Amino acid sequence: GTRFYGEGEGYHTFIGRDNSRAFASGKFDEVSDEVLDLFLEEVKMVTGWLDFYHKHKTYTKVGVAQGKYFDCNGVPTVYRQQVMDKAATDLQPSLDETILKRQQFCHISSNVTHSTLTCKEGRFPRLLRYKNGQAGGCICPDAYGLRDLETSTMTVEQYPSCEGQEPVCVIRSEER
């Protein structure tokens, strides 16, 4: 309820709009419904939650958000079918996807003033960035995993206020 979706709370960004990209990336200030350019595992995460809510007895469907996935009559769009088709594939993963599978993603809790990034002990929050400039979200590498993440298409950056190798980091809103 209000504790999670109320004004200023971490999940407020999901109310009344499709914010699938933020759901997959964990970057809640990145409001977008674009997911086809995400990794296969991230797309599967989005469609997996769609399936979860569709089958759940407590959550009742009240409608759809008109836009990229449904037209004004509630009819699924071609884009939605492309997302579902991508999620249904079991292609050989790229080198980057294989490397990322071995990583853990941060637990992120956000409000209006800050985000708290949390990793398991021995791991630390870092921003995965693709060399095309696109942010890939918060990951939790250990010291050895950092070397694997430096590939021809991706790199890892330290968040400005996350110095050292502490498992918890707080980022102010203006730093996001």
How far is the CA of 107 from the CAs of 27, 66, 124, in angstroms? Answer: 11, 30, 11
pLDDT of residue 25: 72
- Distance (Å, whole) CA 71 – CA 39: 25
Q: What is the pTM of this model?
A: 0.51
102: pLDDT confidence band, cut at 50, 70 and 90? Answer: low
- Report whether 106 contacts 24 (CB < 8 A): no
- Please, are residues 16 and 65 in contact by the beta-carbon 8 Å criterion? yes
Mean pLDDT of 5-32: 79
Segment 132-171, tens digit of pLDDT = 776 678 888 887 777 767 776 778 888 888 888 889 999 8
Token couple for 37: 């350019």
Tens-digit pLDDT profile for residues 36-58: 888 777 888 888 888 888 888 88
Structure tokens at 90: 């079991």
